[in-house]
Amino acid sequence: MKNKIILPLSLTILWFATLPALAHAQAALSLRLSKDFGYSSGTGKIQGTFTMKASGPDNMSRVVFNMDGKQIGEVSQSPFNLQFSTDSYALGIHTLSATGYTTSGAEYQSNEIKAEFVTASQGWQAALKIAIPIIVLAFGAMLVSALGPALMGRGKKNSVPLGAPRNYGAFGGTVCPKCGRPYSRHMWGMNLGIGKLDHCPHCGKWSIARRATAQELRLAEEAELQMAQNEGQVPTQSEDEKLRKELENSRYHDI
């Protein structure tokens, strides 16, 4: 019985003893670095314009930003952000940090960020090494998208009548903003977030092809059929067919 009372009491005392440490941990000053313009290798090498962003307790009154232990700026209102250019400082490795002060007089030290400032030429050379393969892949995808339908469609005939509903595949269908005709989005189309950079097999033009809804595709199919009929591409009912249909219907009329 005595042990049953002592154990909960000990846990309660331990909890209250750790509350100040937990509160301090939650109120710690956090520092992060954000790129505004320039180059960042992802491994610490940077060049250009960056912003140091500090966040901490709600009663933070001011933040002093430091580089290699020396103050480079101070912000006295939220958001506690300080923008700087690497070109204004010596090349090499630098240590970024911040010191925060609250209205109650408490002082907090942030985490440290180590960054190597490099020259603009180094930054552009490194960026080109990343960008060139992406550009090559993009042009390759555009080339395949342009030639693929022609090569894959050799010897095949389109069995789907104009205006008829069709299967648009796993990547969905879209309506070309240039010619207004529906088509299946290609697997090799480049995904740009707002849609795929794709090639219309009807008009041959490039555009951002977002995935269309079933209703949008159906309306485009109907418009496609109407457009083809207006241009005489789809034969309308002949006079002989109309006459034969009238004769068949007349069999059911009283004379």
Per residue of the chain (255 residues), give pLDDT as tens. 545 555 454 544 444 444 444 344 444 899 999 999 988 888 889 999 999 999 999 999 999 999 999 999 999 999 999 999 999 999 999 999 999 999 999 999 999 999 999 988 876 666 666 666 767 666 666 666 555 555 554 444 444 566 666 778 888 889 988 888 888 888 777 777 788 788 788 888 888 888 888 888 888 888 877 777 776 655 444 555 555 556 555 554 444
pLDDT of residue 178: 84
How many domains, the chain?
Answer: 2
Check whether residue 189 and residue 113 sit in a common domain: no
DSSP, residue by residue, 111-139: --EEEEE--HHHHHHHHHHHHHHHHHHHH
62, part of any domain: yes
- Is the N-terminal amide bond of 79 cis, ω within 30° of 0? yes
43, part of any domain: yes
97, part of any domain: yes
Q: Which of 73, 97, 118 is the last residue of a domain?
A: 118
69, part of any domain: yes
Check whether residue 178 and residue 104 sit in a common domain: no
Q: Which structural domain range is residue 196 located in?
A: 173-234
157, part of any domain: no
Q: Are 97 and 113 in contact (CB under 8 A)?
A: yes
pLDDT of residue 191: 77
Q: Output the domain CATH number for residue 55.
A: 2.60.40.10
Q: Is 50 helix (H, G, I), strand (E, B) or coil?
A: strand
135, part of any domain: no
Q: Which of 87, 118, 149 is the last residue of a domain?
A: 118
pTM metric for this prediction: 0.45
